[in-house]
Amino acid sequence: MAHDFFARASTLAMLLAAISGEKGFGLSGSNTNKFIFILYGLGMITVFPASFLLIFGLLRAL
């Protein structure tokens, strides 16, 4: 589920960046740039716990 969130957040962030034509990456600049940065950040935060849970489940299944 978290990997799916990462994929959706990254896709949405890429689309917003392409549509808006924003240059750069960070919490500075326009609100669109900030929103794109936050989407990527949230996606990255969810990947690590999801990967841990996936490995934990794999080890339990063995």
Q: Whole-angstrom Cα distance, residue 57 to residue 20?
A: 40
- The predicted pLDDT at position 11 comes to 86
Distance CA(19)–CA(54), nearest Å, equals 34
Higher pLDDT, residue 43 or 1: 43
CB atoms within 10 A of CB 13: 20
Residue 50 has pLDDT above 90, yes or no: no
Query: What's the pTM value of the predicted model, to 2 decimals?
Result: 0.66
Instruction: Return the pLDDT at 60.
Output: 95
Residue 34's pLDDT is 86
* pLDDT tens digit sequence for 9-47: 888 888 888 888 877 777 777 888 888 888 888 888 888
**How many C-alpha atoms does 35 have within 13 Å on its Cβ side?**
11
39 and 12 in contact (C-beta within 8 Å)? yes
Residues near 1 by Cβ (< 8 Å), separated by ≥ 6? 50
